[in-house]
Amino acid sequence: MKIKYELIKNDGKARYGKLITNHGTFETPMFMPVGTLANVKMLTPEELKAVHSAVILSNTYHLWLRPGADIVAKAGGLHKFMNYDGPILTDSGGFQVFSLAKNKEKDITEEGVHFKSHIDGKSLFLTPEISMEIQNKLDSDIAMSFDECIPYPATYEYAKQSTERTLRWAKRGKEAFHNENQSLFGIVQGGEYTDLREFSAKETVKLGFDGYSIGGTSVGEDKKTMYKMIDDAIKYLPIDKPRYLMGVGDPIDLLEGVRRGVDMFDCVLPTRIARHANAFTHYGKINLRNAKYKEDFTPIDDCDCYTCKHYTKAYLRHLFVANEGLGGRLLSIHNIRFLIRMMEEMRNAIKEDRFLEYKEDFLKKYLG
């Protein structure tokens, strides 16, 4: 079965809806923690469920290299392999080609991309067909089209050529796709150029996908530009399909994305910053290594997560200062819960037609 999206209610452009998948239904807007290598770093599926995380993202490129798509397929797919029975979205590998391969070692042709493995420098070749084959084998609930993530800034000429090629790749990928239990999203590119975003959105929608992603954001552009990229693309996306803003997870960006009509987000941010002792709180980000928490026997935040219910800042600080891995684990739980809870609060605000009010209240506290 393909996924099914139901738009339940708008508040301005912000949307409250739900997404029905073969591995459960979740409400949107929703944040997806990242399980790069078939696990959300340090955490078990039970811990993800405990923070009401409803869907995760896993990385095609990384799983292609380790353990390999065939091993995951032999295990019975990614869900069985990693013991996770909730919905999984996989990216296409396009972003990793952009972020992990050095420019010199990357050769983009019409056929696909030649690049070098970030692990051992081995030559790799990824095409729309190969990306689909890998994702079909991983058997995620939602797969992504293979795209080129355009750097920022890029010349108009480069952005245009790349956007057109990504469209041709989307078509080829769709034709090669052959897993009836899996859904496929198209990705809108176009760089920072309004007319290219419009072109990309309209043409991608014409090809017809189960949902639409906005790509090429979070690549070094300023926030104003990112929000413009969203605006320029989202107005051409159909209201009856989910919209996914790729690689975005900063609390402020989540608010701005939802405000603009985005339904899904993913980012390594909550787990990555957790490993460096950074915690989200309603009063902004804090670093738990700070000496001022040495004797602070209160929880990180007013929060219902396992970590906040059981541990103090002083204890967490101790774990980080002593380089104990449990610190990153406990803080990952909190940071994911923080973003998941934000999404819950945003959904409630949309339901009650007070999204902008919620956003202002949140930012007032968060930015101090």
Q: Which residue has the tokens 């030559």?
A: 123
Binding footprint of a copy of itself on the chain (CB under 8 A): 37-39, 41-44, 62, 66-67, 71, 74-75, 81-83, 294-295, 297, 310-312, 314-315, 317-319, 321-322, 324-326, 328-330
Cβ of residue 256: shortest distance to a copy of itself, in angstroms? 32
Q: Which is nearer to a copy of itself, 276 or 294 (CB)?
A: 294
Cβ of residue 76: shortest distance to a copy of itself, in angstroms? 8
Q: Which is nearer to a copy of itself, 123 or 322 (CB)?
A: 322
Strand pairing category for 14-21 and 4-11: antiparallel
Q: Which is nearer to a copy of itself, 5 or 320 (CB)?
A: 320
Alpha-carbon dihedral angle through residues 63, 50, 356, 24, given to the nearest 10 degrees: 60
- CA separation for the pair 213, 197 (Å, rounded): 12
Question: Given its phi and psi angles, is residue 22 left (phi above 0), alpha (psi -120 to 50 degrees) or beta?
Answer: alpha
Q: Are 109 and 148 contacting, i.e. CB atoms less than 8 angstroms apart?
A: no
Cβ of residue 53: shortest distance to a copy of itself, in angstroms? 15
Q: Which is nearer to a copy of itself, 43 or 229 (CB)?
A: 43
Which one of the listed residues 11, 232, 266, 301 is annotated catalytic?
A: 266
Cβ of residue 47: shortest distance to a copy of itself, in angstroms? 10
Which one of the listed residues 91, 232, 250, 253 is annotated catalytic?
A: 91
- CA separation for the pair 296, 316 (Å, rounded): 10
Q: Which is nearer to a copy of itself, 295 or 302 (CB)?
A: 295
Q: What are φ and ψ of residue 292, in 5° steps?
A: -70, -10
- Concerning whether 11 is annotated as a catalytic residue, the answer is no
CA dihedral over 269, 138, 95, 89, signed as positive or negative: negative
- Concerning whether 266 is annotated as a catalytic residue, the answer is yes
Cβ of residue 20: shortest distance to a copy of itself, in angstroms? 26
Question: Given its phi and psi angles, is residue 236 left (phi above 0), alpha (psi -120 to 50 degrees) or beta?
Answer: alpha
Q: Are 266 and 249 contacting, i.e. CB atoms less than 8 angstroms apart?
A: yes
> Which residues carry out catalysis?
91, 266
